[in-house]
Amino acid sequence: MAGSVKEMIAAANAVVPKITPDQAREMMAAGGVLVVDVRDAPEVEKSGKVAGAVHVSRGMLEFRADPESPYHDKAFDKSKPVILYCASGGRSALAGKVLKDFGYARVFNLGAFKDWADSGGAVETPIEQGM
């Protein structure tokens, strides 16, 4: 059992491969991949998200990913590859480990949303309040 967040992230990084924005774009272009933003809602509202990504905050991931949960999101399918990202890569690594533990075989950590956006990746911008 890990004794610190640093140890937990290291353990997650050992089982969840890190991918580059270019690799993510290739996977997304091939289709059949689920992209998940695990940041909190205020972060997504401020910056937008990867185009086509599903937003599930890290705290709700287990409930959305588990087919036995009453909160299951049908977008989560164990036969699909899953790409996760957050603000820096830590939460997405931990989220990836959870999905691996749940039986999702092809799970990847894109890391930081900023790296995606800075690389020219497509971003859905937040809707302005009152529009």
Q: Which residue in 79, 86, 69 sits closest to 107, CA to CA? A: 79
At 3, is the pLDDT very low, low, confident or very high (cuts 50, 70, 90)?
A: confident
Residue 129 has pLDDT above 70, yes or no: no
In the predicted model, what is the mean pLDDT of residues 28-55? 96
Strand partners, 109: 18, 84
In the predicted model, what is the mean pLDDT of residues 112-122? 96
**DSSP states along 1-60:** --SSHHHHHHHHHHHS-B--HHHHHHHHHH---EEEE-S-HHHHHHH-EETTPEE--GGG
Return d(Cα 131, Cα 129) in angstroms, integer.
6
In the predicted model, what is the mean pLDDT of residues 41-49? 95
Residue 101 has pLDDT above 70, yes or no: yes
Mean residue pLDDT of the chain comes to 94
At 126, is the pLDDT very low, low, confident or very high (cuts 50, 70, 90)?
A: confident
Give me the domains of the chain, ranges plus CATH numbers. 5-124 (3.40.250.10)
Residue 92 has pLDDT above 50, yes or no: yes
